């Protein structure tokens, strides 16, 4: 393997936590400081990943089996690592991704109950040892996340909505507990930033976490 010179950051958290905005702001700031930055998003990222994303997030694909879903997330990621992330790190860039394997661990491993082992195994295959140096979790509580998710899904019929809400609440409870356990297992890789403040306050917390990890550049 060639020696990695760049820095790999991923932004994580529950749906609606604001990490997409924060990832964008961090990338902007890094560019201003003179770093070459590659921004990416999962699921999606590369043009091929975008095609897989459409399958994953299409509500018509209700029948998608949990293991098939899991493999599709990793298919996106394998393409992203090969085509964009690894080459960028090898040339010394800072890579900023909106979600990475930690999302799969939280949502599929914990949320869907597939477990940690299968996610770790597939990560090894898909990512070939490419892993984040720093993972920023933009942390919001369950109620805020559910309220934001509900606001996105207003069209669902009322009676149906109650049942969906209960299922969603259980699922998101497991996702959030998953993120918390992941932080405990690897405290040095994670920075948990309170996502309840205004955008600039959260951004300051994020920047503090990043600063300590930045490689020198001339």
**Which helix (H) or strand (E) segment is 208 a member of?**
helix 199-211
Up-side HSE of residue 50: CA atoms within 13 Å toward CB?
A: 4
Q: Please report how close the Cβ of residue 74 comes to ligand TYD at its closest, in angstroms.
A: 8
Nearer to ligand TYD, 36 or 174 (CB): 174
CA triple 21-23-25, angle to 5 deg: 70
d(CA 123, CA 81): 11
Nearer to ligand TYD, 35 or 136 (CB): 136
Are the C-beta atoms of residues 11 and 21 closer than 8 Å to each other? no
Q: Please report how close the Cβ of residue 105 comes to ligand TYD at its closest, in angstroms.
A: 8
Tokens 């309840």 -> residue = 196
Nearest residue to ligand TYD on Cβ basis: 107
Terminal Cα distance for the chain, rounded: 26
Q: Please report how close the Cβ of residue 104 comes to ligand TYD at its closest, in angstroms.
A: 3
Nearer to ligand TYD, 108 or 135 (CB): 108
Nearer to ligand TYD, 15 or 36 (CB): 15
Q: Please report how close the Cβ of residue 57 comes to ligand TYD at its closest, in angstroms.
A: 6
Nearer to ligand TYD, 131 or 214 (CB): 131
Are the C-beta atoms of residues 11 and 39 closer than 8 Å to each other? no
Q: Please report how close the Cβ of residue 199 comes to ligand TYD at its closest, in angstroms.
A: 15
**What's the 3-state SS for 108-149?**
HHHHCCCCHHHHHHHHHHHHCCCCCCEEEEEECCHHHHHHHH
Residues at the site binding ligand TYD, with contacts judged by CB under 6 A: 15, 20, 42-43, 57, 73, 99, 103-104, 107-108
Nearer to ligand TYD, 35 or 42 (CB): 42
Q: Please report how close the Cβ of residue 21 comes to ligand TYD at its closest, in angstroms.
A: 10
Burial of 150 (0-12, 13-18, 19+ CB in 10 A): middle
Beta-carbon neighbour count of residue 1 at 10 Å? 8
């Amino acid at each position: 393997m060639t020696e990695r010179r760049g820095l790999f950051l991923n932004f994580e958290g529950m749906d609606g936590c604001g990490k997409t905005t924060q990832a964008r702001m961090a990338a902007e700031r890094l560019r201003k400081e003179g770093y070459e930055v590659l921004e990416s998003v999962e699921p999606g990222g590369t043009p091929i990943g975008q095609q897989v994303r459409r399958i994953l997030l299409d509500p018509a694909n209700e029948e998608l089996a949990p293991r098939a879903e899991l493999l599709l997330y990793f298919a996106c990621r394998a393409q992203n690592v090969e085509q964009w992330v690894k080459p960028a790190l090898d040339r010394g860039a800072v890579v900023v991704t909106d979600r990475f394997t930690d999302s799969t661990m939280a949502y599929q491993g914990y949320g869907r109950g597939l477990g940690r082992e299968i996610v770790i195994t597939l990560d090894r295959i898909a990512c070939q040892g490419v892993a984040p140096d720093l993972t920023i979790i933009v942390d919001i509580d369950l109620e805020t996340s559910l309220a934001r998710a509900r606001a996105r899904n207003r069209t669902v019929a009322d009676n149906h909505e109650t049942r969906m809400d209960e299922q969603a609440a259980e699922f998101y409870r497991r996702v959030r507990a998953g993120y918390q356990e992941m932080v405990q297992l690897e405290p040095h890789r994670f920075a948990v930033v309170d996502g309840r403040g205004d955008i600039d306050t959260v951004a300051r917390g994020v920047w503090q976490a990043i600063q300590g990890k930045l490689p020198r550049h001339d």
